[in-house]
Amino acid sequence: KGEHNDKRGALIVLEGLDRCGKTTQCSRLVSFLEGRGLSVESWRFPDRNTDIGGMISSYLANGSKLDDQTVHLLFCANRWEKRSLMENKLRNGTTLIVDRYSYSGVSFSAAKGLDIQWCKAPENGLIAPDLVVFLEISPEEASRRGGYGTERYEQLEFQRNVAKHYQILQDSTWKVVDACLPPESVEKQIQELALESIQSCQNKPLSALWH
């Protein structure tokens, strides 16, 4: 079969409030899996390297004004523009470790007051993750971690609201990990969950959000 790998890769998403440690844990997980000789790539949303990503980035830096619905659809379109590449990678046996996905998309927009069903609808048909690791931290604790940056959304009251919406979205693919444990312990738990998911996803076809 040449280069083609008959085992598909896993779609593993890390989610959580701003400052929960997702980005650090994503890169540690990628290094760990690479060390095991697995084919793995690090992804993130928003992907700021596309034209749509550039619009999102400017919005987040408070450089542009867009209404909530428009921004929601841009975040969503930013996932859609990566969907077929994502599918190809997974089918070719590459595991993707993704820093934020549709759960951020829905939670952040719903926290602004948009209807949750309206928020979910355009995410329909994106690839469903095999595993969502939710790094749980209270909004208060997150805000104490060196403080928030200057981007939009990085405020305590708003993060409380986001946390509420994450709760509503939890489903059977979620594993909650306490983000306040020592980083090595968080890392270890995520490694185990990821290895388990990479094993078990091989018997499951790719499926779509939100079913």
Contacts to ligand NYM by CB under 6 A: 18, 45-46, 60, 75, 99-100, 104-105, 108, 153
Measured from the CB atom, the residue of 168 and 204 that comes closer to ligand NYM is 168
Based on CB atoms, which residue is closest to ligand NYM, 45 or 166?
A: 45
Angle at 52 between CA 46 and CA 53, to 5 degrees: 30
**Residue 13, strand partner residues:** 98, 132
Contact 15, 132 (CB under 8 A): yes
CB closer to ligand NYM out of 92 and 173: 173
- Considering beta carbons, is residue 49 or 185 the nearer one to ligand NYM? 49
Smallest distance from the beta carbon of 47 to ligand NYM, in angstroms? 9
Q: Are 14 and 133 in contact (CB under 8 A)?
A: yes
CB of 97 to ligand NYM, least distance (A): 13
Per-position DSSP letters for 138-167, written without gaps between them: -HHHHHHTT---SSTT-SHHHHHHHHHHHH
Closest distance between ligand NYM and the C-beta of residue 99, in Å? 6
Question: Which residues 6+ apart lie within 8 Å of 48 measured at CB?
Answer: 54, 56, 57
CB of 89 to ligand NYM, least distance (A): 18
